[in-house]
Chains A and B, each alone.
Chain A
């Protein structure tokens, strides 16, 4: 079993839809949770990160962490065609420069 599980999709939605992307994990010691976005043939770029449990909002994006369920989510409101990309969740232990453990990524297509 992988440490971080993520449905690879693909997920296809119409423009303006609310998108929900999710990951589950097995290591209860993870403390930092991140979402990266990766466009085709580009490197991943950080969208948002949260520490421990709770919600964080940034514009159209909301990240949620439920440590009791070992479940994290990214919501995209009013989705745009420019949001079409692969979304990777990532997480790590606290302290120092510990490596990030990534999910497989979910490919999202937002069609006009």
Chain B
């Protein structure tokens, strides 16, 4: 597609439930990133995938968070046993690695998660 697509745009869940958030990156982009944005906070890096390399999971806040990227394209971020502090906007971005090395990220509109 023309841009990065994320679904659902909004998700309300009960504490303790599992949630899955989906990201469709720009076609041909080899790198995919997940960030989290809490109210009034900047973007917190979670994980990134680059081609067939092992993902950089250094930003995942706990083992309740996991992500996979199938076929080098679509990615799913899974949060198990959700807690209220997981409430945030989860942003996905993709990159082609071009732009003279700047590695410009194109973001989706985000998935807003509310844990009651």
A residues near B (Cβ < 8 Å) are 4, 6, 8, 32, 34, 36, 41-46, 49, 51, 88, 90, 92, 94-105
* Chain A residues, CB < 8 A from B106: 45-46
B95 contacts A by Cβ under 8 Å? yes
B residues near A (Cβ < 8 Å) are 4, 31, 33, 35, 40-45, 48, 50, 56, 59, 91, 93, 95, 97, 99-110
Report 26 cross-chain contacts, Cβ distance below 8 Å, ordered by A residue: A6-B42, A8-B40, A32-B101, A32-B103, A42-B109, A43-B4, A43-B108, A43-B109, A44-B43, A45-B106, A45-B107, A46-B106, A51-B102, A90-B43, A94-B101, A96-B97, A97-B50, A98-B103, A99-B45, A99-B56, A99-B59, A100-B33, A100-B103, A100-B105, A102-B45, A103-B42
